[in-house]
Amino acid sequence: MAAAKKIQIYDTTLRDGCQSEDVSLTTADKLQIAERLDDLGFDYIEGGWPGSNPRDAAFFKEVKRLKLRHAKVAAFGSTRRAGIRASADRNLRLILDADTPVATVVGKSWDLHVRDALRISLAANLEILNDTVVYLKKHVDQVFFDAEHFFDGFFNNRDFALQCLKALDEGGVDLICLCDTNGGRMPWEIEEGVRAAAAAVRAPLGIHCHNDSEVAVANSIAGIRAGAVQVQGTINGLGERCGNANLLSIIANLQLKLGHNVLAPAKLKALSETAMLVYELANIMPNPRQAFVGRSAFAHKAGLHVSGIQRNVHTYEHVDPALIGNDRRVLLSELSGRANIVYKTREFGIDSELTKEQTAALLDELKRLEAMGFVFDGADASFELLMLRTLGRARDHFSFVSFRVFDDKWHEDQAPFSEAVVVIEGPDGRRTRNSAIGNGPVNALDSALRQALVPYYPNLADMHLADYKVRVLGNGAGTDARVRVLIESTDGERRWGTVGVSSNVVEASWQALIDSVEYKLHKDNAKPRIRHAATNGNGDGRAPRRRRTESAAVAAKP
């Protein structure tokens, strides 16, 4: 292992990350991310390219009001153009107008680019590099240089690539960041290039890798091992084409595996939360399989794995998930064994061990339901209720009688709407009928159900649906296919998932809704507020005789 050292973290999410084809951050988004990165203890935050667009210009103006405590903001741009003095270059003036303590400029270090893109001599490029740095150093505290395509240039024309670095070094550059811009190099090539650069210049080195070969994180770590003291990247690996090196994975590896001083341990625990923040602001679905911070990163499904981690977590986990703010999760499926069930009883706080018969019965029921299309990976609440029913500990807080759903669209220009009618029997034995209008059948059912139950259980007023997903099972069946509905609910403090399966999307949604409400009442240990008057739909207040459950749905095909 290389000797531990302080590694500078240079974030370029607000510039390189915004070059992702599906990412567009507002100025407010960028400011919020900058505050989070500063709180984490990042050393540098690249804010964007001044003058390239109004959003970046606004960021550099507004970021001064944040009073960042640790991170320095860098303005990004390119070297001066050929044939003009640095002092006359508009791009360099815009960098200085941003009034940041750090200026980062990108320039050519691959002879192919100098000849074919810039169409100038190699000597002229060396002059541009030196002149740009000399000029900026007169006006800015720190000048960093991104040696674009350095590794491609190094393996194509080693002497010229190193001459470029020496021209920068002689100009007084504060740090040279070596870039694998095309993302095509391998870790051993990165190490060779960094070592050669370190031997050629006095300036400290950084590493900046793209992920086109799926090795950007490995390449970045190789660069650090070879002598780089700064690593550049983005949160969640956002970036052009296949993205940039993912700083979250780099930080976790450097600190937990290589022992480098990167972030304070307490801040390391905020990595998972930071990943979710950037996904949310970028309006991108989080990658559940993302290393370290993904929801599935420490999820265990096979019974053999679960049995192993119950004895020793190191059997199937490379680090403690709590160190980076993540959680261990045990999943339930047809692959589950007794160990999965036992783990879940402890997780749910069930204080008595299941008997072998109860475990076997629960496993059989789990596998039967999974064969029908149920999944409990994201529906722990439904499984907890299933377990409680198996143990005889479940309490029904109300009885379902019937529901009806009507979908209406009265003319072409009007959006369709739904009306739901729900009949339940409350804990006092009285039957109530409630109706509600919604923008869809599930929304209407949810509203009508809670209207019926809130008089008995006021705590349900705090609950609402946070997410709703439908998946068609058995695509070959067309509109007759079964559907699976996963609902995520929240009361502001907890989030829980429930599942329903049916050939009717409304019925599947209803199953998940009922489980969601029952779970909330179970967790709150809710006691009903019994009313002294209720109606059964006829207005006489008498509790009707219980009848067979029935339901009807209109226009409910998926």
Residue 309 DSSP SS3: helix
Cβ neighbours around 280 below 10 Å, total = 12
Q: Which has the closest alpha carbon to 263: 481, 457, 43, 421?
A: 43
Which residues lie closer than 8 Å to 357 by C-beta, 6 or more apart?
none
pLDDT for res 549: 33
CA distance 261 to 41: 11
Please provide residue 272's backbone torsions phi and psi, each rounded to the nearest 5 degrees: -65, -40
- All CATH 3.30.160.270 domain ranges in the chain, comma separated: 373-558
Using the 8-state DSSP alphabet, how is residue 322 labeled?
Answer: G
pLDDT for res 339: 65
Half-sphere exposure of 120 (CA within 13 A, CB side): 15
CA distance 558 to 556: 6
Q: Which has the closest alpha carbon to 500: 512, 518, 491, 490?
A: 512
CA distance 192 to 205: 14
Handedness of CA 456, 462, 464, 466 (dihedral sign): negative
Contact between 370 and 333 (Cβ < 8 Å): yes
Q: Which has the closest alpha carbon to 437: 451, 455, 419, 415?
A: 419
In the chain, % of residues over pLDDT 90: 62
Q: Where are the beta strands (DSSP E) in 3-123?
A: 8-11, 44-48, 72-78, 102-108
Contact between 372 and 501 (Cβ < 8 Å): yes
- All CATH 3.20.20.70 domain ranges in the chain, comma separated: 8-263
Structure tokens at 415: 């959006």
Which residues lie closer than 8 Å to 203 by C-beta, 6 or more apart?
165, 168, 169, 173, 174, 175, 176
Half-sphere exposure of 520 (CA within 13 A, CB side): 27
| Longest Cα separation, the chain | 98
Q: Which fold has domain 373-558?
A: Double Stranded RNA Binding Domain (3.30.160)
Contact between 418 and 441 (Cβ < 8 Å): yes
List the beta bridge partners of residue 404: 421
CA distance 521 to 528: 10
Domain 8-263 superfamily per CATH = Aldolase class I (3.20.20.70)
Contact between 27 and 249 (Cβ < 8 Å): no
SS3 of 129-178: the string is HHHHHHHHHCCCCEEEEEEECHHHHHHHCHHHHHHHHHHHHHHCCCEEEE
**Residue 35 belongs to what H/E stretch?**
helix 27-40
Q: Which positions of the chain have pLDDT values less than 70? A: 1-3, 302-303, 306, 310, 329-354, 377, 474-480, 531-558
pLDDT for res 337: 59
Using the 8-state DSSP alphabet, how is residue 6 labeled?
Answer: B
pLDDT for res 247: 98
pLDDT in tens, 13-67: 999 999 999 899 999 999 999 999 999 999 999 999 997 788 899 999 999 999 8
CA distance 163 to 159: 6
Dihedral over alpha carbons 437, 442, 447, 452 (to 10 degrees)? 110
CA 65 to chain CA centroid, nearest Å: 28
Residue 544 DSSP SS3: coil
Q: Which has the closest alpha carbon to 73: 23, 38, 21?
A: 38
